[in-house]
Chains A and B, each alone.
Chain A
Amino acid sequence: AQRVTQPEKLLSVFKGAPVELKCNYSYSGSPELFWYVQYSRQRLQLLLRHISRESIKGFTADLNKGETSFHLKKPFAQEEDSAMYYCALSGVTGSARQLTFGSGTQLTVLP
Chain B
Amino acid sequence: EAEVAQSPRYKITEKSQAVAFWCDPISGHATLYWYRQILGQGPELLVQFQDESVVDDSQLPKDRFSAERLKGVDSTLKIQPAELGDSAMYLCASSLYGSTDTQYFGPGTRLTVL
Contact = CB atoms under 8 A, between A and B. Distances in A.
Same complex origin of A and B: yes
A46 B45 CA distance: 16
B14 interface: no
Describe B's contact surface by its main secondary structure.
loop
B85 interface: no
A97 interface: yes
Interface-centre pick from A93, A101, A102 (highest chain B CB count, 10 A): A101
Interface string A72-89: 000000000000001010
Contacts of A44: 43, 91, 93, 105
Interface residues of B, number: 25
Given A43-B106, A95-B56, A98-B48, A90 B43 contact: no
Interface residues of A, number: 23
A64 B33 CA distance: 28
Describe A's contact surface by its main secondary structure.
strand
B56 A94 contact: yes
Interface of B: 3-4, 33, 40-45, 48, 55-56, 58, 91, 93, 98-100, 102-108
17 contacts: A43-B107, A44-B91, A44-B105, A45-B104, A49-B102, A86-B42, A88-B42, A94-B58, A96-B55, A96-B58, A97-B98, A97-B99, A98-B45, A98-B56, A101-B43, A103-B41, A104-B41
